[in-house]
Chain A
């Protein structure tokens, strides 16, 4: 019994860590610019393939593969800003929210298809993986899961330091609180947007490497974690980072329990029931700011 329980907990914590990373990337962009990035899933996939290309095709060490995923993710965020977001911001503010969502849906599907055309549809093995397991008495912890949890914790610390302690982070937080006031105080809001998208892209890149190391590389790789990250964002309230992490861990644990108890096909529907129940009780999410989105 403890074996099963441990297995569920390890699986839950690992996927929770992955979801948390995906959720934070989304939530960051939403919180600071009111933009729901539907292309985040494709950016995740892009990161995974970037690491694969650097390590396998170019034959460089794994650390550089990691860096490659981060750089490619950040570059994708920058391109997204220059090609789409900057142009949409020029239009009427009230239409931005819907327009940017539709546009990123288009970008996401195009990017996923471009990856499919470049690498083919057959699943590839992500080289960033460690075999073996760590044994502690009756417990078995695969190194791979420990690596993922460690990387995610490091990234969380990095993000919270970047947001809390740096000039850039202060500008991002100011813009998130009140865009107009921040602009009047001399914050270059457009640059903040660019930074946020690049940061979120970099997080997506790392997340993609980690997700593909658990499964395999395939073009629709990012869609499943992204859909769950959406749900977690909604439960936590969009734009709330600590809430997003808490919701991601909680829901991932719930998912792995339900998958064990009722079978894999009920994992996702159970998350949906939770989110609907939460939203009926608190329409702007568990930790969401109450004034937003309520009419």
Chain B
């Protein structure tokens, strides 16, 4: 029931928000989002650290086809459920300064999005997973396309078609797997699908791998399917960008762990190297482009592209360090990127610009902002004792075990990451005050309310990563036992 309430609460909250008028919408939405966060915390504390699927619930959905509305949380789901419930309240709080037209719709869409995301991460039936996977796209599309920047129509349209195109291939793969399940009455729950997958030969697996790979690597995105990403991140309103980069991107990595590894192990053996190479290219390529960016939002977009490449490489390395690292990095990256995008939003609100060349010298009047910015930046750079370090360390270790060369090249991410992040902070915050940054006011209370917890989590997770790692470990070990 707990999982069902996690999905239902945001839907109900969204419907209530829709009925409110104007200013009240954000208050109502944030109250519900915090309620959801408390529910998420309860799930976290009552989660038993073993490999089982907990808080499971299952109802008949499409009886004639053996499809069930079946949800549950295991260690891998847990970390993403935590990420979603943790981030959405802050994403909503981060918009408190803005006055969006049709605010009730805006906040309702964020809450619907949250419900769909939790659905994706807790689904235990492939078609339920697909259902939520696609549904999640609709709110974020409308958020980006209605409240976004000038070029939003074209950019978000490209994003939508691109991702749906990928998903359709996944649908084909899922239907094919469903048809392979034993008996005349097919089933679509994960266990039946895993069992059916064991009977597939290498040719079948290769096709399924291809279909899954297209779907998930567009979603994440991996090189060379990333062309929709920077524009969409830049044109979306900041809340939309946070949802996309902070949480939605993880749908792709989650899909890789949940489907690709256990269902098509032979194909991953054969083609995994190609995936790792593409991921590593993405890391280096994304970082190099990030170094050259003039626009802060675009810079973080490319850094996100580089980070997700490392996560994918870790997953395809198929060892415990790689997968554990990618899981903890999903959480850490979510926190960091939400914080960084919020800081960009703050700077943009006060100076009306995100261009590095026009900024500078902000730090002179803003001790608070500087501290938070640097903490979040260091988290993103993966300095020891920050959340980014744990993830990247494990990931690089995992990739190195898989292939030393890939590990070595992927390791460039640390150096390149430091270059683009430090460059961004230096150009925007330090140096001489420019015309538009003159008289930049420091953080207000409502901004601190967002940045303090996020920065706190950056450090806390860096010191005590085990609070999540020990919960995910049994599930990852079990997953690897299916893979091997």
Q: A and B: real partners?
A: no
